[in-house]
Amino acid sequence: MPDYPDAAALKTATDTLSTYPPLVFAGEARNLTTALAEVAGGRAFLLQGGDCAESFAEFHPDNIRDTFRVILQMAVVLTYASKLPVVKLGRMAGQFAKPRSTPTETVGDVELPSYRGDNVNDIAFTPEARLPDPQRLI
């Protein structure tokens, strides 16, 4: 978890988020659990695809559609080759914040907080941009 400098702003942001509907519903999670049990039992194949890190600038319906299309195409090939059903798991629309191995990065003589993803701070290497901002969560 990033160190947000303004605890009140963080609380406001998390309170706002708590009023939104879930992104994944309980039934969907249960269905995934059942499908993953099939994978664990060797009765299905798991295909997970998507970007390791996403940016708000690249978050666009066309990019999501293209990634989804590639996953579906790969699933067809895997289904044919393995003769097993393929559980398709998209790693999309949620990779906007990432943990880092070090809390800071240095460019020249300047040390600033690490870029932790668009949900936390900005990639620009300035003190203002690297300050964790809870409004970016919303």
**And the tokens for 71?**
């996953």
CB 6 within 8 A of CB 130: no
Tens digit of each residue's pLDDT (9 = 90 or more) over 32-57? 999 999 999 999 999 999 988 888 88
Q: What angle do CA 25, 43, 74 make, to 5 degrees?
A: 75
Cα distance between residue 99 and residue 111, in whole Å: 18
Mean pLDDT of the chain: 95
Sign of the Cα pseudo-torsion (54, 58, 64, 65, in order): negative
Tens digit of each residue's pLDDT (9 = 90 or more) over 82-134? 999 999 999 887 789 988 999 999 999 999 999 999 999 999 999 999 999 99
DSSP letter at 29?
H
